[in-house]
Amino acid sequence: MHVTKSWALSLAALSLTATHALSTSTPKKVVVTGAGGQTGQALFRKLLTYLDEFTPIGFVRTPESKQSLVNSGLSAGSIAVVDVTDGPAVKAFLTSSPVDAFCICTSGKPAPTGVMTEEGKPVFGYPNGSPEEVDWIGQRNQINACGAGTHVVVCSSMGGTDPSNMLNKLGRTEVDGKEVGGNILKWKRKAEKYLIDSGLPYTIVHPGGLLNEPGGERELVVGVDDSQEGTTSRLVPREDVAEVMLQALRNEGYRNRSFDLRAKDKGDGVVTTDFAGLLGTLEGKNTDYSLGEIM
């Protein structure tokens, strides 16, 4: 096909214009809560490597957590001390500094209390906030603070379809014949349903057991409702969870989706690189919140 010189020049000009538009577009302002934790920090650091696309702000709970991140080389200006269980504080920050996306990586963290059961097993508690305080009230505070149209991306957990999941038992005790505390997956599920019902665009990722191993080295498997289809593995590296959350900010196909995430064993399958097509195997399926229990 013959292409005239003027037509070729027009194509070149169009290409330059498109390139300029991409290079000068305003980066998305993104908050990552739980930025002092392992998964939240992994996502926060990833976003900081793409400053042409994102302006990330990391929320941490304490000044000590902020100082730890600063000592590791991160800019103090990109980190804010905001306790997500303090609703007015979260709202005040977002009112003064609106964002395009909000990534929730906060979660109650169980730890041994020092008490042992009669069987000799350690009793776990939540020294920095119970699941009800962090995974329900804290997440609700974060959701409520987001402005209309803010894309909320949540790192949750698999296991929500099974009320008897062992994670629900951590921190749970009996007082006057009534169970109190614990039930972290039920509180997470309550927060997820609250987000969906809020009308905000959302992406909810339910990772399997989290591995502290490098990401980008395994084939990722998505599913819904705790299905084990696709791999016998129930695990996934934190770095891969962070990557999927980042990709949710890039790809419109991740909006209004709730799904599980696992990874095949290293060396099994083909390393996932096509994140735009990752959710295609779900054929439109989302988490069924009629399954399991919600507090």
Residues taking part in catalysis: 157
Please answer whether residues 86 and 106 qualify as being in contact, where contact means their C-beta atoms are separated by less than 8 angstroms. Answer: no
With residues binned 3-state (H G I as helix, E B as strand, rest as coil), the percentages for the chain, rounded to 5, are 35, 20, 40
Alpha-carbon distance of 204 to 196, in angstroms, equals 9
Angle value at C-alpha 167, between 162 and 170, nearest 5 degrees: 135
Please report the sign of the dihedral spanned by the C-alpha atoms of residue 88, residue 202, residue 38, residue 158: positive
Alpha-carbon distance of 254 to 258, in angstroms, equals 9
Q: List beta partners, residue 101.
A: 30, 151
For residue 202, which of 139, 256, 243 has the smallest C-alpha distance? 256
Alpha-carbon distance of 43 to 54, in angstroms, equals 12
